[in-house]
A and B are shown apart, each in its own frame.
Chain A
Amino acid sequence: MKIFYLEILVLALAFLIFVVDLVFKKQRANLIPWVVSVGLFFILGLSFIYKPQGSFFSGAAVSDSLALFFKKLFLMAGFISSLGVFSFAPERFSKRQMEYFFLLLVSLSGMMLVSGAKELIFLFVSFEIMSFPLYVLAGFLKKEAFSVEAALKFFLLGTVSSALILYGFSFVYGMTGSTYLDKINTAAGNLSGLFYLGISLILAGFCFKIAAVPFHMWVPDTYQGAPTPFVAFLSVAPKAAGFVVLLRLFWEGFLPAQNFWRPQMILLSALSMIVGNLLALPQKNIKRLLAYSGIAHIGYALLGLLVVTHYGISMLLFYLAIYLFANMGAFLIVELVYRTQKSDELEAYAGLAQRSPLVALCLLLFLLSLGGIPFLAGFWAKLYIFLAAAQQKLWGLVFLGAVLSVVALFYYLKIARVMYIQAPLTAERLVNNKAILISIILTVIPLLIFGLYPKPLVELVNQIARQFLP
């Protein structure tokens, strides 16, 4: 059981706030976010100290260095987003705060379980433990039509994609006779027909979950309608969970069939980069713009997945870690601006540099990191992904990615121009909110440190990839 100690602690925290909500009726509005943030901080600290390795349920769940790396990522995303929701929650839904954090923590525990799943039933159940609370959280502002509509779209596409994944699983199980990934791997070499159909269905289903083109329709709508501090979490953590599942399935399960799935992934990666970057150009709403830029980033990350070397895996991990910080930070600033201006449109950002220079500078850093400007961490992430692809002679994709990175700079710098050059509409300063500021600073620091000195993180991910793929 000890390999699940992080998940158990997160669930224990979820039930603790349940009790806190019942016992401290009067102070609960201020108490619950504190309990969750402090609790997650301690669990995050523990995850760096105690790292049990091993397997459970006769190999259905493992705790290897890959799983531990992703668990740390999810805990960081959970911690930062719980700081981000700190004063949002008492204002918008003070009586239902407990539900919000309870669902967030349950979803977090599902993500952590899925990062160690090596068996199809365990994998699917833990993936759904992650997904169900997300559907509810997207519609958490239940009186606002936008939020509920976002939840409906997210739910419908999410469930259809789950059905696709299950249909694919049934063929994989039927053709190989097992649901364990290592047994599927040994059986996968000399199969055809329905097994390949199953792989394609699974890939399509998970592309819904990670939002790769052509399965991306829900993303801009859901991001625009759902509560922003939650979108900061939704835009990174479930995507990383989707990638760890894809890594497990396609590297540990379906690797012998790589000649079949690699061309499909190449197509998905190219389409995501093209459509994401080009559709981001005309956007006026910053949440939709970041949604499309996120789709493009998924395309870059898929590039790391389909490079079938351990260098590709390590660079994918690097990319996901950097993307997590930059994207969460950008969405937290969107939330901060929304609280003053009550608008997510680009005009709300006019003259932000004069009104709140520090916040504007942070947003600029996030955007430049997402755009891949040296010397911010996003630059190394993109460069390493391209190098990994170039090693495998995927010159077409590298060229496409490099050209589209330049296109991406155009819309990232469009926001910067609005912030720094346009005159402000109001002289009003932004709401001063310590918790969000702390969470923003927590996301800026890694970008700066790993931008100037990426070596420690690179060595860490290389070590993980080598253990994952001896």
Chain B
Amino acid sequence: MNLSFYLILSALLFSLGFFTVITRKNAIGILLGIELLINAVNINFIAFAKYLGNPVGVVFVLFTIALTVAEVAIGLAIVILIFRVRKTVEADQIDWLKG
């Protein structure tokens, strides 16, 4: 398979993730969008590693997976806190800070 197919797939996935992050109202939905963004990056790294024939890209993906897990754990904790304080996770209602 050609490298460009993988790059187009990951670009599509990245755009979808970005669209999700921007349009979703629910904080959990935004977290899912962030997952899509990171997975698009992972596809990119793996495709380049295969194409270049050097394993650094694969190593990078292992690190990103581990970091993303930690990141989502923190994100969910913050969403739970928001729900406890405000009784909502809708992003457009979380707007007390402005000016």
Contacts and interface: CB of A to CB of B under 8 A. Distances in A.
Interface in A120-163: 120-121, 124-125, 128, 132, 135-136, 139, 142-146, 148-153, 155-156, 159-160, 162-163
A343 interface: no
Contact of A139 (B17, B34, B51, B78): B78
Nearest to B94: A149
A177 B45 contact: no
A449 B19 CA distance: 51
A152 B71 contact: no
A65 interface: no
Interface stretch (A92-100, A280-288, A324-332, A334-342): A280-288
B41 A163 contact: yes
Given A159-B34, A177-B54, A166 B78 contact: no
Contact of B74 (A120, A135, A146): A135
A159 B71 contact: yes
Contacts of B78: 135, 139, 148, 151-152, 155
A81 interface: no
B38 A145 contact: no
A142 B81 CA distance: 7
Nearest to B52: A177
A288 B99 contact: yes
Interface string B18-62: 100100000100100010011011001101100110101101100
Chain B interface size, as a band, is 35 or more
B63 interface: yes
B85 A143 contact: yes
A173 B48 contact: yes
B44 A171 contact: yes
A224 B97 contact: yes
B48 A170 contact: yes
A426 interface: no
Interface of B: 7, 14, 17-18, 21, 27, 30, 34, 37-38, 40-41, 44-45, 47-48, 51-52, 54, 56-57, 59-60, 63-64, 67, 70-71, 74-75, 77-79, 81-82, 84-86, 94, 96-99
Given A150-B97, A177-B52, 7 more contacts: A125-B63, A132-B70, A152-B94, A156-B30, A163-B37, A179-B60, A221-B98
Interface of A: 120-121, 124-125, 128, 132, 135-136, 139, 142-146, 148-153, 155-156, 159-160, 162-163, 166-167, 169-171, 173-174, 177-179, 194, 220-221, 224-225, 283-285, 288
30 contacts: A121-B60, A124-B63, A125-B67, A128-B70, A139-B81, A145-B86, A146-B96, A148-B81, A148-B85, A149-B82, A149-B97, A152-B79, A152-B82, A156-B75, A159-B75, A162-B71, A163-B34, A163-B37, A166-B38, A166-B64, A170-B41, A170-B57, A170-B60, A171-B44, A174-B47, A174-B52, A179-B56, A194-B7, A220-B99, A224-B99
